Amino acid sequence: MLILVLISSLFRYSDQVHLMEKTQEPFFDVTTDSVFTGQNGGSVFLSCTVYNLNNRSVSWIRERDGYILTVDKETFISDHRFFAVDSRTGLSDTWSLGINNVNMADQGKYQCQVSAATKLQRMTELVVIQPEVSIAGGPEMHVKSGSKVQIKCIMSQTVEPPAYVTWYFNGKMLVDFTGSQISLAHSKQRSVSRLYLKQVNQADRGNYTCQPLGLPTAHVTLHVIEPVEEQRLSVTSSAAGLTEHSTIFARQFSGAMFVFLATSLVVLQAFSENTNI
């Protein structure tokens, strides 16, 4: 299979070289990607590769409104998130449209145009995904005083995993001097950062924030419960249950008494009528 791929690549390269020798007109490398994926809030590059470019200009045009974004390295839009870069490799030039701080509105098609005698353009498409960041068990966590706590921040729907994650406690950055308090692990589908707290006490209660690089934040409020509070909660819960049972019993008793009194009244009325007769 690998041999077939290599042979196919060699034939494509041979065809391109033959075309370059046959004509001096520019043409696109159609074997490169035309669909690019970016994440909301991140950066992305859309690229097109051209042979025989020589001194011709390359423009990037937004398909939905026909707006010229860049011509060569000059930006023609007031939105400074857009810019163009180029690189030359061997016999080809690659021009890329860069977009910083990508948002969902940037999704769509973009044209790479070359100024030639015959209009030459290649369509590319940008797909923007929304990363998801959440804390397991949030937004409220209740833990016992003296226990070990692990706060887990989960990041998914990302184009590239974050290089690092910063944790904050009540707005102040937490610094892991020992390397044992904060961890970060990546898999194909998600990244997970863990914050470890040992023997928590009342000083540890408050708001914890997970801030992955280039991604949204996630928050959780930690409540530390003392043994006395736990007993009080248990007693309160028991009292609430007892009150509920008492209310049900009272309702049942009242209903039974009503039936008894009504029945007694009917019997007395019947007895009175018989006596009068």
pLDDT in tens, 59-70: 999 999 999 999
Across all residues in the chain, what is the average pLDDT?
83
Question: pTM, whole model, 2 decimals?
Answer: 0.65
3-state class percentages of the chain: helix first, strand second, coil last, to nearest 5 = 30, 40, 30
Residue after which a domain boundary falls, among 79, 96, 129: 129
Q: Does some domain include residue 222?
A: yes
How would DSSP label each residue in 56-103? --EEEEETTTTEEEEETTEE-SS-TTEEEEEEEETTEEEEEEEESS--
**CATH code for the domain in which residue 71 is found:** 2.60.40.10
pLDDT grade for 22, boundaries at 50, 70 and 90: low
Task: Please classify residue 138 by burial: count the beta carbons closer than 10 Å to its beta carbon, then call 0-12 exposed, 13-18 middle and 19+ buried.
Answer: middle
Query: How much is the average pLDDT of 20-48?
Result: 88
Query: How much is the average pLDDT of 33-44?
Result: 94
Q: Does some domain include residue 269?
A: no
pLDDT greater at residue 89 or residue 265? 89
pLDDT reading at 185 higher than 50: yes
Angle (CA) 244-249-251 rounded to 5° is 95
Question: How confident is the model over 114-141, as pLDDT tens digits?
Answer: 998 788 999 999 999 999 999 999 899 9
pLDDT greater at residue 276 or residue 190? 190
Quick one: 167 and 153 in the same domain? yes
Quick one: 97 and 180 in the same domain? no
Q: Does some domain include residue 251?
A: no
Which SS3 state, helix, strand or coil, does residue 207 take?
strand
CA atoms of 38 and 46, how far apart (whole Å)? 10
**Parent domain of 151:** 132-226
Q: How many residues does the chain have?
A: 277
- Cβ contacts of 248 within 8 Å, gap of 6 or more: none
pLDDT reading at 230 higher than 60: no
Q: Does some domain include residue 258?
A: no
Quick one: 104 and 184 in the same domain? no
CA atoms of 130 and 139, how far apart (whole Å)? 20
Residue after which a domain boundary falls, among 205, 226, 247: 226
Q: Does some domain include residue 254?
A: no
Quick one: 136 and 208 in the same domain? yes
Quick one: 72 and 50 in the same domain? yes
Q: Does some domain include residue 122?
A: yes
Query: How much is the average pLDDT of 34-45?
Result: 94
pLDDT at 10: 42
Quick one: 138 and 94 in the same domain? no
Quick one: 60 and 155 in the same domain? no
Question: Would you state the structure tokens that stand for residue 72, as one six-digit string?
Answer: 């060569």
Quick one: 46 and 122 in the same domain? yes
Residue after which a domain boundary falls, among 103, 129, 155: 129
The continuous run of DSSP H or E covering 111 comes out as: strand 108-114
Question: Would you state the structure tokens that stand for residue 98, as one six-digit string?
Answer: 């860069």
Q: Does some domain include residue 234?
A: no
Quick one: 125 and 26 in the same domain? yes
pLDDT at 11: 44
Quick one: 62 and 94 in the same domain? yes
Quick one: 102 and 147 in the same domain? no
pLDDT greater at residue 265 or residue 192? 192
Number of domains in the chain: 2
Asked if 124 and 112 count as a contact pair (C-beta separation under 8 A), the reply is yes
Quick one: 207 and 136 in the same domain? yes
Q: Does some domain include residue 15?
A: no
